[in-house]
Amino acid sequence: MNLKAPTHHIAAAKGEIAKTVIMPGDPLRAQYIADNFLEDVKQVNGIRCMYAYTGTYKGKAVSVMAHGIGAPSIGVHAWELYNLYDVEQIIRVGTGASMQEDLHIKDIVIAMGACYNTPYADQFQLQGTYSAIASYPLLRKAVEQSELAGARYQVGNVLSSDIFYPEHASYQENWRNLGILCVEMEIAALYIVAARAGKQALGILTMSDHVLTGEKVSADERQNSFTQMMNIALDMI
C-alpha cells in the first residue's frame, strides 16, 4: 500500500500532529480538552466530525483527537496516527461501566489489560489468543499521577466489547466473575494496533455507569466533568 498523510480519515498535514495524542471517543470531549487545557491550539481535523487539535500543555506539544465508537473506529484512526503521522504514544481517555461493587461512579480505571470479543486480532492469523496489554512506562506514569492527584483509582483488566446491549445478563456476569473491572469498547483494539506498530498506548477510564446498580451520569457530565482523568493523562506527557 502506498499510503501517506493526509488520509481519508485525517486531514492534518504531516507534522501537524504531536508525538503524543490524547484520544477521547466523543468529538465534543476532544473539543472540550482543547478549549480548556491546551494553549496555542489549532484544529487539524474535522473529517466525519472526528475533531483533532494540536497545541501545548505546560509548554509541551500534544494533540487531542476523537476516535469514535468501537474497535473499527479507533483501529483506523490509531493505525494512521502511528504509521502515517509518526505518533509515539496514544492515551485513550474515555468512560466505562463498572462491573464491581467497590468500583464506583466517577472512579478511575487504568487499564493494565483488555479482554475482548472483537474479531479485530483475527487479521494476524495467530495460533492462539492474543493478550492486549498496556505499555508499562505509560501505566507507571498514570499510577504516579493518580497518586499525586489523590484520585480514587484501580488498576486492572477491562473488557472491550462490541456488544453495547447484550441479550443475556450472564454475558456480563461471567466476565465480572473473572475480576474484570469494567466494560468499554475500544482499548483492546488500541493496544493491538500499538503493539503491531511498536508504539505505546494506555487507556484511562472514568466510570460513568454501573452494571450492578444501574447508576449513570448524564451525557453533559460525561462530556465536560471528568476533568481529573484529563489532567492525569496530560500530566503524563
Handedness of CA 123, 69, 65, 155 (dihedral sign): negative
Nearest to residue 107, comparing CAs of 149, 152, 143, 147?
A: 152
Question: Which one of 40, 102, 107, 209 is the catalytic residue?
Answer: 209
Distance CA 199, CA 88 (A): 5
Q: Which three cell numbers stand for residue 118?
A: 472483537
Diameter over CA atoms, the chain = 50
- Could you tell me if 64 and 38 are in contact, meaning their C-beta atoms sit under 8 angstroms apart? yes
Query: Percent helix, strand and coil across the chain, each rounded to 5?
Result: 35, 30, 40
**Grid cell in block for residue 60:** 509541551
To the nearest 10°, report the CA torsion of 20, 26, 28, 29: -50
Q: Look up residue 225 and give its amino acid.
A: S
Catalytic residue status for 209: yes
Catalytic residues: 209
